[in-house]
Amino acid sequence: MTVDYDVRDLALADDGRLRIEWADRQMPVLARIRERFEKERPLDGIRIAACLHVTTETANLMRTLRDGGAEVTLCASNPLSTQDETAAGLVAHHEIATYAIRGVDQHGYYKHINAALDRKPMITMDDGCDLVTVLHQQRQDQLPDVIGGTEETTTGVIRLRAMQSRGVLGYPIVGINNADTKHLFDNRYGTGQSALDGVIRATNVLIAGTTVVVCGYGMCGRGVASRAKGLGADVVVTEVDPTRALEAAMDGYRVLPTSDAVTQGDIFITVTGNKHVLRGEHFELMKDGAILANAGHFDIELELTALRAMSKSRREVRPEVEEFDLGGDRRIYVLSDGRLVNLAAAEGHPASVMDMSFANQALTVEWLVANADKLEKKVYDVPVEIDKDVARLKLETMGIRIDELTEEQLAYMEEWEEGT
Ligand code: ADE
């Protein structure tokens, strides 16, 4: 092997290669970008460190960047989301330096991030901002070498904006999440489907007839609520934002304060991006058998320290399902240690939707390299031309044609005199 790596077992590589190929079939936009990158090599000589969920979809993004000329290193952005066979396939069949093992502890997780940073990236690609945080807190001497970065997720963009407003952001970073072709699709349809997929794979419960409580009605919450409703659940939404709560009510869901919702729910799915959304006072009120899952980025939405402290005992009852015995015939079930249920208990967002998110990533890296000297140390949105290009390409690959404005309509949009 010519690349450095730390993965579970290279014997898994053939399985990984097949799975990467399977995902690639659902990622035609990225494939087209890859073909162009192969010819034009816009990333020649660029070192990229990516801290992303190590999935088959991510593997295809890594291949695209590599074919564009970049020297790519990948580490995991969550200890439980790594697909070990994908990591092995990336190393053995695609020669991409990969540091990721499912289930590593905190020390192993940060060791992998540091291994990626040891390769002196000029571009960082992050999902949740852990790589950027280590770089800014512990390896500031490397900051001058970095020309730019991208951030995949809502949670990460919030952290970057905090860094920018405190004047500590060391280089320009583009928030991929803000592209329409990312959050309107990945967050809604991707999280919507895969969060339910995770709950179902872990528990095999019938969703129809249950009360599903969705905590948070951002793009991810909307997706989770609509998919739970589609499967026949009675859906309750909890929110802190009045506009979002109103939207949930008009979308047809019951909206309740968490303190009321906890007495009614059978399944709880948190997607707020905040901490301790379900906590001790709520666990006290939940029904026997309540199932708790988190689909927000970090594992702090459920206050598991409180739940552990309240429990008489706990045990794993199925893979990804831990039972907490609260005494008095009351048990609560937590999925995947409160980590992203869609990635830990299922396979994350399906490839077809990651196609758009990762097309934005690839094209934005190309844009960063081309514009590095003009950019400031701040958080940028994905350029609108890239966003529209991704939408156009996705439609094309889906065989969907749309209209164009006529000359008359174009002129009408520019004038102001014509009225009633
Ligand atoms: N985030 C959510 N789903 C994902 C996937 N399939 N691959 C990479 N990152 C993801």
Q: Is 128 in the pocket of ligand 1 (CB under 6 A)?
A: no
Output the CA 53–ligand 1 centroid distance in Å: 6
Distance from residue 26's CA to the centre of ligand 1 (Å): 14
pLDDT for residue 2: 81
Ligand 1 test: best mutation among 54, 56, 57, most atoms within 8 Å of CB?
57
Residue 183 has pLDDT above 70, yes or no: yes
User: Does the C-beta of 348 come closer than 6 Å to ligand 1?
Assistant: yes
> Average pLDDT, stretch 62-85?
97
Residue 404 Cα to ligand 1 middle (Å): 33
Q: Class assignment of domain 188-344?
A: alpha beta
Q: How far is the CA of 311 from the centre of ligand 1 (A)?
A: 33
In ligand 1, which atom is closest to the CA atom of 127?
9
> Mean pLDDT over residues 23-30, rounded?
98
Ligand 1 site, residue 55, Cβ cutoff 6 A: yes
Q: Answer whether 37's CB lies under 8 Å from 60's CB.
A: no
pLDDT tens by residue, 288-341: 999 999 999 889 999 999 999 999 999 999 999 999 999 999 999 999 999 999
Query: Does the CB atom of residue 340 touch ligand 1 within 6 A?
Result: no
Same fold, 5-182+349-397 and 188-344: yes
d(C-alpha 269, C-alpha 292), whole Å: 6
Confidence band, pLDDT 50/70/90 cuts, at residue 420: confident
Any ligand 1 atom below 6 A from CB of 354: yes
pLDDT digits (tens, 9 = 90+) for 113-165: 999 999 999 999 999 999 999 999 999 999 999 999 999 998 899 999 999 99
Q: How far does the centroid of ligand 1 lie from the alpha carbon of residue 348, in Å? A: 5
**Given a cut of 70, is residue 281 above it in pLDDT?**
yes
Q: Does 191 contact ligand 1 (Cβ within 6 A)?
A: no
Q: In whole numbers, what is the pLDDT of the chain averaged over residues?
A: 97
Distance 121 CA to ligand 1 centre (A): 22
Beta bridge partners of 43: none
What distance in angstroms lies between residue 211's CA and the mean position of ligand 1's atoms? 27
Decide whether any atom of ligand 1 lies within 6 Å of the 23 Cβ: no
Closest ligand 1 atom to residue 153 Cα is 1
For 288, other C-beta atoms within 10 Å of its C-beta total: 10
Task: Kindly report, residue by residue over 257-278, the tens digit of the pLDDT.
Answer: 999 999 999 999 999 999 999 9
Q: What is the CATH number of domain 5-182+349-397?
A: 3.40.50.1480
CA of 82 to the centre of ligand 1 (A): 10
Give the confidence band of 90 by pLDDT, cuts at 50, 70, 90: very high
Of 24, 354, 360, which is best to mutate to test ligand 1, by the most ligand atoms within 8 angstroms of its C-beta? 354
pLDDT for residue 418? 80
Reported as a single tens digit per residue, the pLDDT across 364-386 is 999 999 999 999 999 999 999 99
pLDDT of residue 417: 85
Ligand 1 nearest-atom number relative to CA 340:
2
Mutate to test the pocket of ligand 1, among 26, 54, 55, 182 (most ligand atoms within 8 A of CB): 55
| Torsion angles phi and psi, residue 249, rounded to 5 | -65, -45
**CB 125 near ligand 1, within 6 Å:** no
CA 191–ligand 1 middle distance (angstroms): 9
d(CA 311, CA 30): 47
Report whether residue 53 contacts ligand 1, using a CB cutoff of 6 Å. yes
What spacing in Å lies between the alpha carbon of 190 and ligand 1's midpoint?
Answer: 8
Place of tokens 């666990």: 283
For residue 24, give the nearest of 365, 344, 374, 358 by alpha carbon.
358
Q: Is the dihedral of CA 334, 275, 354, 394 positive or negative?
A: positive
Return d(Cα 90, Cα 364) in angstroms, integer.
Answer: 22
DSSP string, 17-68: HHHHHHHHHT-HHHHHHHHHHHHH-TTTT-EEEEEE--SHHHHHHHHHHHHT
Interhelix angle 351-371/56-67, rounded to 10 degrees, is 30
Domain parsing of the chain, residue ranges:
5-182+349-397, 188-344
The yes-or-no verdict on residue 1 having pLDDT over 70 is no
What residue type is 64 in one-letter code? T
* Rounded distance between C-alpha atoms, residue 347 and residue 195, angstroms: 10
**% of the chain residues with pLDDT over 90:** 97
Average pLDDT of the segment spanning 167-181? 97
